[in-house]
Amino acid sequence: MTLPDGVERRSFGEKEGLATRGEPVYGEPTDGAWRRWDPRRSKLGAMLENGMETGLSGGETVLYLGAAAGTTVGHVADFASPTYAVEFAARPARDLLSVAESRRNLFPLLKDARKPETYAHVVEPVDALIQDVATRGQAKVALANRRFLREDGRLLMAIKARSEDVTADPDAVFETVLGSLEDGYEILETGPLAPFHEDHLAVVARPR
């Protein structure tokens, strides 16, 4: 597994972990300019810790769906180029704005990821579409936002089984969502996000 440029594995006291260079966001341990990327608070961080081939090399243009308070997208902006961060809820979006203050390449958008037409006039074509949304219809969101992804780009998605259907067996949910994704994506790799996140499946895909 190749880490993107700008992401390193470093020691923070007795703990070793992935790290990016940037202003701290959520009280994470630091080592000089480096800050630890906590995989228990980040689906993308867990994907990298679990050795998935994300296709990220550093310097990508990114559209991040479900940015919340900026925990993960702050790390992404540390090693990426322009990073568009879509968040629907006003309260976490205020924290996201604070994260963006020290990252001139991070552009928060208070928008609904289910309605990409509301931000299509802002977002340029991207190399990576990163999705971490807690809603039903997660495949529909990924398909709707496929319009922004370059032909050789990557979808990096965390499927949240309990957000899709709290009563269904997670494996059945994953199978259904993956089947829907194949309408617009070629699935390259999947993997559970355990032990960091239960009932989550990570997906790496490219547009068809």
* Binding site listing for S-adenosyl-L-methionine: 71-72, 87-88, 112-113, 132-135
Binding-site residue positions: 71-72, 87-88, 112-113, 132-135
Provide DSSP, 24-68: -SSS--EETTEEE--GGG-HHHHHHHTT------SS--EEEE--T
Evaluate whether 196 touches 51 at the Cβ level (below 8 Å).
Answer: no
Distance from chain centroid for Cα 204: 11
If you ran DSSP here, which 8-state letter would residue 108 be given? E
Q: Give bridge partners of residue 110 from the DSSP assignment.
A: 87
Evaluate whether 131 touches 169 at the Cβ level (below 8 Å).
Answer: no
